[in-house]
Each structure stands twice: as structure tokens, then as C-alpha cells.
Amino acid sequence: MIKMIFACTRILAYHSIHPTRLDTLALHPDEFYRQMKWLASLGWQGVSLAEYVRLTSQPNGESLKIFAVTFDDGYADNLKYALPVLKEFNFNATIFVVVDRIGTDIIHETKWLSLYPNVSRSDYRYLNWNEVNELLDAGMEIGAHTCTHVLLDEVNYQTRFAEIADCRTKLEQTIVVPIVSFCYPKGQYNKQTLEIVKASGYNQAVVTPNKIKRFKQPDVYQLRRIGVYHNDNLFRFRLKCLPVFDMIRMLRSYHSILEL
């Protein structure tokens, strides 16, 4: 297991896949297609986070040509624009949803509305429950990203516990599948948060790229990811996937090591 964590990161982190959104979290569907096509052409298989952890934990799992595809926040465009691409290449993925935002049009960053006036409010829409079920039916994994996207370092223990545990409970009661993967909003976590995530029944958790706080005792509750953003064309994406860039990300993260 430890060997797996120290190996090159093969977990991709996306947010929105959208043709007209211009904010940093949104990648154009054509770019997403090129990235998946490139990985498929090299013989790599895209899988959900749960599958990734299960497969890479097995003997010789590190030699498998698999990578995990993850999406944060649960934007409706994941179904409309990302899923058709994933299905074309027979890939799976994990979508981390904020359970109290499902079916709402709350905007994560309100500044986007004024910065990008040509994009309508509905372009930032979150998945509704029917759409979550469509993703499930298509073989995708649904993961938890708290109830309200609260920053976990900034709330008391009780609230933190509720945000993490209730998210899983609400999802499991509504879509009736086990929820085993968790994602920390904006990568905020500490030792106590890790313990809550473990105690709440999650099997693994991912961190926002470059937010890893400690490597001395790596585990599946602090999995690093490669973040893919608006300006990541195929050239930049290929660079980001190189092991040398993973090393650079790791070294950068050492600056924020905390004694948990």
C-alpha cells in the first residue's frame, strides 16, 4: 500500500467540462476528449477511484495501466459533456457531489457571474437526483464532497462530523449504493478530519492537488491528484502526466507539511 502512495500520481482531478464556461475550473469538452483519447491510445484504462484503489492495492497492481478520473462538485455538465467521452473509450470515473447542492443552482464562486457575463447561471448548474442516477446507471461512481462544501478547517468538530458523515448517509439513503470515496473541499483537512472520514465508513479520500500536508505516513485517505484546469491543452496535460512533474508537485507540497 505504501508503495502505491509513493508511486507516480495517476488520479486526475477535473471539475466542469463545458463548451462556454471560461473560469479556471472548466475545461472545454474537445480538450477533455483529446486527453482521454491520448491516454486510451497509449493503452491506459480510466477507472473510478474505488476501482483504482482496489486494483492498485493488489500484488503487481502498480504495473497496471490504469488511472482514476475524478470530478469535483457535481456539475450537471459532467453528465452532458464528460460522460459521452468516457463511454466512447469505455472509461469509468468518480463524481464527488455536494449533497445539499444536488438539484440547485447555487454558484460556487459568485464572482464568475460578473467576470463572464456571456455565461448564464444555468451553465453552473449542479446535477439533480435523476442525473445522479443516470451516472450511476452508466457505471460511474458517486463520491462524497460534504453536505454544503464547507471548509472543514474552519468549523467546529460537531459541524465537521455532520458534514462528512451526513453526506454519506443522505447519498446512500437516496441512491441506495455504498458511498466509499470522499473528497476534502479545497483540500482542507487535519488529523481529526482524517479520523472522522475513516470512522464515517469511507474507504479512501482524495486531496486537492498540492494540498497534501504530510508524506511521512501516507495512506489512502490522502491520495494526491493531478489537477486539470481551463488552460490545460493536450500539450500541458501530457507534461502534467509525466512522473518528473509529479515529483515537482510532491516537493512543492513539502513546504506545507504539518505535524498532524
Site residues, Zn ion (CB under 5 A): 72-73, 185
Q: To the nearest whole angstrom, how small is the minimum distance from the Cβ of residue 47 to Zn ion?
A: 21
Cβ proximity to Zn ion: between 185 and 209 the closer is 185
Q: Where are the beta strands (DSSP E) in the chain?
A: 11-14, 16-17, 26-27, 45-47, 66-73, 94-97, 141-144, 181-183, 204-206, 226-227
Cβ proximity to Zn ion: between 73 and 100 the closer is 73
Cβ proximity to Zn ion: between 140 and 152 the closer is 152
Q: To the nearest whole angstrom, how small is the minimum distance from the Cβ of residue 189 to Zn ion?
A: 13
Cβ proximity to Zn ion: between 18 and 39 the closer is 18
Q: To the nearest whole angstrom, how small is the minimum distance from the Cβ of residue 149 to Zn ion?
A: 6
Q: To the nearest whole angstrom, how small is the minimum distance from the Cβ of residue 184 to Zn ion?
A: 9
Q: To the nearest whole angstrom, how small is the minimum distance from the Cβ of residue 250 to Zn ion?
A: 22
Cell 488529523 belongs to residue: 191
3-state helix, strand, coil split of the chain in percent (to 5) is 45, 15, 40
Cα 42 to Cα 8, 130, 173, distances in angstroms: 17, 34, 39
Q: By the 8 A CB rule, do 175 and 102 touch?
A: no
Cβ proximity to Zn ion: between 39 and 132 the closer is 132
Q: What single string gives the DSSP state of each residue in 188-211? A: ---HHHHHHHHHTT-SEEE--TT-
Chain centroid to CA 12: how far? Answer: 7
